[in-house]
Structure 1
Amino acid sequence: MERWTPEVKCNERETRLLRLVGKSRKLFVFLREHRHEIFDEKFQEELEAMYRSSGQGDEPQPPALLCMAVLLQGYLQVSDAEAVRLSATDSCWRMVLATLAQPGDAPAFSQGGLQQFRERLIRHDMDRRVLERTVELARQTQAFDWKKLPKSVRVAVDSRPLEGAGRVEDTVNLLGHAGRKIAECIAAELNMSFEEVCQEAGAPLLAASSTKAALDIDWTDAEQKNEALNRLCEQLDGLSAWVQRRRPETELTPLSHYIEALVQVKQQDLESTDEGEVRIRQGVAEDRRVSIEDAEMRHGRKSKSKRFNGYKQHISTHLDAELVLACAVTPANRPEEEAAPQLQKDMARMGVEPDVLQIDRTYLHSSLVEQVVERGGEVVCKPWKGNNVRPGLFGKKDFHINIREGTITCPAGQVEPFEPGQVVEFDPEACGPCPLRAQCTQAASGRGRTVSMGDNEALQKKLRELQESRAGRAKLRERVGVEHRLAHLSNRQGPRARYIGARKNTFDLRRLAAVQNLETLSRRSSGPTLQVVSST
């Protein structure tokens, strides 16, 4: 396989170009000067190994060149077609890709080749290695002063919402969308027109550009709406039966995916009535699908009043090195703690074990927190507020909690034992005549004050004490480093996902994080030479 061997020394033309581009696109300068260090012999061998396992296809372009193109594409946030054009016409791209001296304006790669390389990166988890490579480069760089960083490793974890690329629709449009895609797929397989399939299957509503327009009813009238829903479902059932007769065995093809999507939407959004009809289900089904094209998108909430549809991006950041270490993407409805195992695994691959973990409290029940606590590390975050207490009443912080003895003492001195994860109710006979009752509880007569104890009550107690001190509050503010990293990623990517599916969006997040790490290396390097030393 042909290997990418770009020149190390800049020629006169490149020097002039670097002087111009360095004023606005500084990363081009860094990539040109250090491309041979980023894509050293060992890393190029890893990229080439993605191809040796298949043994099929034409001889590809050098994988390192395509990987550099992927980074440039993420840096400028351009499409595949635009990346191909820039590789042929933009002097900065050609300089970094080492094609500036080649005659003519032929592109360095094809659009299909770039897409196939990206899919290969994802299939072999090499997008993770690209991110790891930027951290390795920082560790091997004298100018970066990695060895001068504090001995205790401070890692921060945070997330941000990401709107999905799939179209979000209501129940009627989800049903109609799935039905149309089924008709289109079977039409292509049987070499029929889309309209012929809809006609033969008895589903003329699907042939219209808009399902709701074809139904043509007053959607504020509940009776008309119910009748239209049942009419649409009858035609969809007819289409499904027609497809089953014409194609009894459905393999794992786009057709099978859309059939599964239709079944899923019916199960989650519809329910049967006693009259044998269907109606919209009351309430929202758990893990409800919101898009036909993107099966993994979900409803999520930024707050009680703000909702979004898509995913959550999670990153872990080395606060002192200002480098992104690991990335994960989860559906928007999943709790933050579910992203922790992936982040933990990726950091472990790089030998990073946090001594201090700065997190949002939504990660408190994660395996990453458990690992840090077991190793004797420090977890820094705001504590949960506990059970809702009216203003003017004693809060949980006013009770003395003895973790070692497993007891909790109220402000009046009453002591009760507790178990983690349970609710402690103080003796009603002691609470009734207590002179502090009016300041403690508004429970009915014959009931005592209750206090909810967390599963990790020992940690919660430390966090409450941390928040109550000035030094502790200053330490809590140190998490701003990971928030800055997320803000930079958001500014480059925007609020919307580039791809469909969690895995592809994980690739995109890792690519963006790698670009950001390279920008950090560029900013913190003292001169044109990184002085990379042996990792041994």
Structure 2
Amino acid sequence: MFADMYPSANGRPSMPPQILAATIVLQSLHGLSDFDTVQELRCDLRWKAACGLGLNDTAFDPSLLTYFRRRLQRSADPNRLFTAVKEVVAATGVLKGKHRRALDSTVLDDAVATQDTVTQLVASIRRVIRDVPGGEKTAATWCTAHDYTGPGKPRIAWNDEQARAALVDALVTDALNLLGHLPERQLDEKAADAVGLLALVAGQDVEPVDDGRDGRWRIAHGTVHDRIVSTVDAEARHIHKNRTRHQDGFRAHGAFEPETGLLTEVELTRGSGQDNHEAAVAEVLLADESEDLTVLGDTAYGTGDLREALETDGHTLVIKPPPLKPAVPGGFTADDFHVDTAKGEVTCPAGQTKALGRPDAKGARTAQFKKLCTHCPLRDRCTRSKTGRAFQVHAHYDRLKAARRQAADSNWQAEYRRWRPPVERAMAWLVAGGNRRVPYRGVLKNNTWLHNRAAALNLRRLINLGLTHTGHTWTLAPATT
């Protein structure tokens, strides 16, 4: 199982990898540090028995766990422990005939502190000076806003707004000068990452000062999309879980079988970006499913693209459609308009019909009512635009409208209310015991950790269901009365 992680023919691992793997799973279950994990292995007989150690075995140095995780993360199959547990699940047959999968996600806090603009700029410039050949010499000539060889932030009167503005301007100027005057040469991966990070940080929070003078910078209003929140972990992101809850970190996604309480797949992604949205990750969560399923999810999974993909794969959808938002509070919604996509026409609540225009890059078409709204008695309930209503019909309009009709059915609602809520319990299991905060930096390391934790939770659930080995295969023992 671990032969590819130890390709050298010289000698053998100092500790059998199966013992380290079992220890990693227990560590993920209990959310312990490497030191505390080894202490448990030395002192707790249950841990010794689970990991295959004898009574008098004194475990190993905690650094071995770090080395093992590093080999695992860099291997061709970093999630092999979760895969092994999935094979046990398949052998028991516990999922046979269980055709429902509930999807959900939760936000995980990052393992580093969020940095402000000044801290990120200083840290990024220091990293280029340290990691890029010729960076130190270039910085000595072109970077004058701060002594980057010393620790800490620049010493200014932080309660002085003008001083802060001057510092930001000077730091951005230093960053751009450093990027523009580095020697032209082929960079290795470490140096290239340092240069790329500085370029991102130098442009994400600032904008030119519009005062008639060139080359001056200030903190920009608003937050740039996909903003880096820390140079220590450049993959952590600022996440809006909802309108009131904001966090910095990553997003954990899961597919859950609600009858057995087993996680069938998990995935950890950055917290922002189209490729990391719940609907984009859903196809990954269901990619290994060989049977037609009933897929349950909230409005985050209700996009037209995901619906089309899942329906093409033969799945039945019990996914809550996104709510309609009227242009005027209490006014007409999109369902009050009659849309005939085949004819390319839209009829408004007042009975006026307009043709749909040509599709844009995303396949959306627009009907321009405009002048017809001038003397319309229903205008106050339809639009606030001074020029009149423009009604947009996107590429999946018919599919989403059918989903809204389906969601109004009582049988659909009963199915959703019964089988969708249990996935919240699975998300609570993932973050319980202090595991809301990820233990490592970066998507790769934390994604492996999430899969290991899901494997541990599934093992615990299987044991509660009566997991046993017959000598030939895994099975669930029948419940005793």
Decide: shared fold, TM above 0.5: yes
CA distance in structure 1 between the aligned counterparts of 2:172 and 2:266, rounded to whole angstroms: 42
Aligned to 1:10: none
Select the residue among 62, 72, 76 that pairs with 2:26: 72
Does 1:205 find its partner at 2:147? yes
1:80-479 superposed matches below 5 A: 80-101=34-55, 103=56, 105-107=57-59, 109-141=60-92, 144=94, 146-147=95-96, 149-150=97-98, 153-181=99-127, 205-211=147-153, 214-222=154-162, 224-232=163-171, 251-253=188-190, 257-271=193-207, 275=213, 277-283=215-221, 284-335=223-274, 338=277, 344-345=283-284, 347-349=286-288, 351-365=289-303, 368-401=306-339, 408-411=346-349, 413-414=351-352, 418=356, 421-426=364-369, 429=372, 437=378, 440-442=381-383, 447=388, 449-477=389-417, 478-479=419-420
Does 1:47 find its partner at 2:2? yes
CA distance in structure 1 between the aligned counterparts of 2:276 and 2:469, rounded to whole angstroms: 41
Does 1:507 find its partner at 2:448? yes
Return closer, same or farther for 1:337/1:466 CA change in 2, 3 Å cut-off. Answer: farther
Deviation at 1:73, TM superposition (A): 0.6
After alignment, is 388-397 or 407-416 more displaced? 407-416
Select the residue among 480, 488, 511 that pairs with 2:421: 480
CA distance in structure 1 between the aligned counterparts of 2:332 and 2:214, rounded to whole angstroms: 56
CA distance in structure 2 between the aligned counterparts of 1:164 and 1:398, rounded to whole angstroms: 44
Q: Give the partner amino acid of 1:135.
A: K
Return closer, same or farther for 1:272/1:348 CA change in 2, 3 Å cut-off. Answer: closer
CA distance in structure 2 between the aligned counterparts of 1:265 and 1:386, rounded to whole angstroms: 37
Deviation track 1:131-183 (CA, whole Å, cap 9, x = no partner) reads: 232222122116x4x33x34xx2222211112222321111111222344556
Describe the SS at the equivalent of 2:189: coil
Return closer, same or farther for 1:490/1:530 CA change in 2, 3 Å cut-off. Answer: farther
CA distance in structure 2 between the aligned counterparts of 1:171 and 1:337, rounded to whole angstroms: 25
Return closer, same or farther for 1:377/1:272 CA change in 2, 3 Å cut-off. Answer: closer
Aligned to 2:465: 524
CA distance in structure 2 between the aligned counterparts of 1:464 and 1:177, rounded to whole angstroms: 50
Deviation at 1:381, TM superposition (A): 2.2
Deviation at 1:291, TM superposition (A): 0.8
CA distance in structure 2 between the aligned counterparts of 1:396 and 1:176, rounded to whole angstroms: 50
Confirm or deny: 8 A CA contact 1:156 1:317 kept in the other structure. yes
Return closer, same or farther for 1:265/1:61 CA change in 2, 3 Å cut-off. Answer: same
Deviation at 1:72, TM superposition (A): 0.6
Deviation at 1:385, TM superposition (A): 2.8
Return closer, same or farther for 1:339/1:440 CA change in 2, 3 Å cut-off. Answer: closer
Describe the SS at the equivalent of 1:87: helix
CA distance in structure 1 between the aligned counterparts of 2:379 and 2:131, rounded to whole angstroms: 69
Deviation track 1:428-452 (CA, whole Å, cap 9, x = no partner) reads: 55x66766x26742557884x5543
Confirm or deny: 8 A CA contact 1:330 1:339 kept in the other structure. no
Q: Give the partner amino acid of 2:317.
A: V
Describe the SS at the equivalent of 1:464: helix
Return closer, same or farther for 1:519/1:407 CA change in 2, 3 Å cut-off. Answer: farther
Radius of gyration: which is bigger? 1
Deviation track 1:280-302 (CA, whole Å, cap 9, x = no partner) reads: 24243343222111111222212
After alignment, is 78-87 or 413-422 more displaced? 413-422
Confirm or deny: 8 A CA contact 1:134 1:517 kept in the other structure. yes
Aligned to 1:5: none
Return closer, same or farther for 1:78/1:428 CA change in 2, 3 Å cut-off. Answer: same
CA distance in structure 2 between the aligned counterparts of 1:56 and 1:388, rounded to whole angstroms: 70
After alignment, is 83-92 or 392-401 more displaced? 392-401
Deviation at 1:338, TM superposition (A): 4.6
Describe the SS at the equivalent of 1:311: strand
Deviation track 1:333-354 (CA, whole Å, cap 9, x = no partner) reads: 22476565665346434x4455
Aligned length: 463
CA distance in structure 2 between the aligned counterparts of 1:68 and 1:182, rounded to whole angstroms: 40
Confirm or deny: 8 A CA contact 2:122 2:148 kept in the other structure. yes
CA distance in structure 2 between the aligned counterparts of 1:47 and 1:263, rounded to whole angstroms: 40
Q: TM-score, normalised by structure 2?
A: 0.81
Describe the SS at the equivalent of 1:285: coil
Structure 2 stretches lacking a partner, 5+ long: 476-481
Q: TM-score, normalised by structure 1?
A: 0.73
Return closer, same or farther for 1:414/1:533 CA change in 2, 3 Å cut-off. Answer: farther
Deviation at 1:96, TM superposition (A): 0.9
Return closer, same or farther for 1:99/1:263 CA change in 2, 3 Å cut-off. Answer: same
Confirm or deny: 8 A CA contact 2:339 2:347 kept in the other structure. yes
CA distance in structure 2 between the aligned counterparts of 1:220 and 1:398, rounded to whole angstroms: 55
Identity level (%): 23
Structure 1 stretches lacking a partner, 5+ long: 1-45
Return closer, same or farther for 1:272/1:465 CA change in 2, 3 Å cut-off. Answer: closer
More helix by proportion, 1 or 2?
1
Q: Give the partner amino acid of 1:251.
A: D
Return closer, same or farther for 1:528/1:282 CA change in 2, 3 Å cut-off. Answer: closer
CA RMSD of the aligned region, Å?
3.9
Confirm or deny: 8 A CA contact 2:176 2:202 kept in the other structure. no
CA distance in structure 2 between the aligned counterparts of 1:446 and 1:262, rounded to whole angstroms: 45
Q: Give the partner amino acid of 1:72.
A: L
Aligned to 1:489: 430
Confirm or deny: 8 A CA contact 1:289 1:297 kept in the other structure. yes
Describe the SS at the equivalent of 1:126: coil
Aligned to 1:29: none
